[in-house]
Amino acid sequence: MKFCKKYQKYMQEQEKKKLPAVGLKKLKKILKKCSRDFQTHNAIDSTQPCPHHCPVCDGTFFPSLLNEMSAVVGCFNERARKLLEIHLASGLGKCFIWFKGKVKGTHVALVQEGRDLVTYALINAIAIRKILKKYDKIHYSKQGQVFKSQAQSMHIEILQSPWLCELMAFHINLRETKVNSSNAPALFEGCSLKFNDDKPSLSCELLDSVQIDIDLTCSICLDTVFDPVSLICGHIFCYMCACSAASVTIVDGLKEAEPKEKCPLCREAGVYEGAVHLEELSILLSRSCREYWGERLRTEKVERVRQAKEHWETQCRTFIGV
């Protein structure tokens, strides 16, 4: 079965969930129209590349794909966030979430929902990759790859989502604590936390030769990320290191960072306000690096107390006008 038909069949099966999708069939029709129109005007040499300002591509194909990619990654992020919120909640909080939401609270149901989300992310990532490859093949160009790079810079590349990293950690946590029963399907095949010269990374082989490797070394302190947080640009740092880079205290938090503050790695501005706290990853690393985690916990506790003390002293002085 060709991928387009396989993709359409998958999305039809997910129709009840009302998930946004990539309109492969529609985009292929746009490509055919563009190819016909261009070859009509260049009948002598049909291997010429599509012009940089093609009215069909710029006006229809890329805007349509951009909107669909945004909808897909937004849906994935929101559903993954809700799933992990249920898993991490406890007591009355979990009961309230179960009552309010539609996801069942059993571990088997959580793992199945996680697997469904992973499948949704992967099949859409493959669909996007294939349609861009088809674009470049038809037009003898590299505009498709350029668009992919632009999408990554706009943070709508689904395989770069921090919530995919969280689902990977969620899978390993369930597997290692053995709370998922034998009836629960695995989220990932070949997903693991690896150490190379004491440097950790999350590694996972996915469908259609797609592989994800996430470096878990903070580029600021050069240690394993502690209390990890992912910035909007996708780079992961220790929470305290990120606060330092954003010129804010731990008390104020990253939400108080100025829009001009940049990521220490890619130098992109405005990446702190929407940062994602990677709690599942934090649990995984705390179990896998117990000695290191305990030592960082002690040193960071001292620093947090110091910053909190300075913060409240400043607030008191401001209040009394000193």
**137-188 tens-digit pLDDT:** 877 778 888 888 888 888 888 888 999 999 989 888 887 765 544 555 566 6
Residues 229 and 138 in one domain: no
Residues 67 and 171 in one domain: yes
Q: What is the pLDDT of residue 39?
A: 58
pLDDT in tens, 73-97: 999 999 999 888 887 876 555 454 4
Q: Which of 187, 204, 233 is the last residue of a domain?
A: 187
Q: Quick check: is 209 in a domain?
A: no
Phi-psi region of 54 (alpha: psi -120 to 50; beta: other; left: phi over 0): beta
Range(s) of the domain holding residue 302: 216-321
Where are the extended beta strands (E) located within 153-284?
192-196, 199-205, 211-215, 228-230, 236-238, 276-277
State how many domains the chain has: 2
Q: What is the 3-state secondary structure (H, E, C) of 273-316?
A: CCCEECHHHHHHHHHHCHHHHHHHHHHHHHHHHHHHHHHHHHHH
Q: Quick check: is 196 in a domain?
A: no
Q: Quick check: is 92 in a domain?
A: yes
Q: What is the pLDDT of residue 260?
A: 93
Residues 160 and 225 in one domain: no
Residues 38 and 183 in one domain: yes
Residues 172 and 232 in one domain: no
Residues 173 and 227 in one domain: no
Q: Quick check: is 59 in a domain?
A: yes
Taking the CA atoms of residue 33, residue 36, residue 41 and residue 44 in that order, the dihedral angle to the nearest 10 degrees is 160
Q: Quick check: is 153 in a domain?
A: yes
DSSP-derived 3-state class of residue 261: coil
Q: Quick check: is 197 in a domain?
A: no
d(CA 301, CA 299): 5
Q: Which of 136, 166, 187 is the last residue of a domain?
A: 187
Q: Quick check: is 150 in a domain?
A: yes
Encoded amino acid at 20, one letter: P
Residues 181 and 232 in one domain: no
Q: What is the pLDDT of residue 176?
A: 73
Phi/psi for 134 (5° steps) reads -65, -40
Residues 290 and 229 in one domain: yes
Q: Which parts of the chain register pLDDT below 70?
A: 1, 35-58, 90-107, 177-189, 207-209, 322
Residues 23 and 151 in one domain: yes
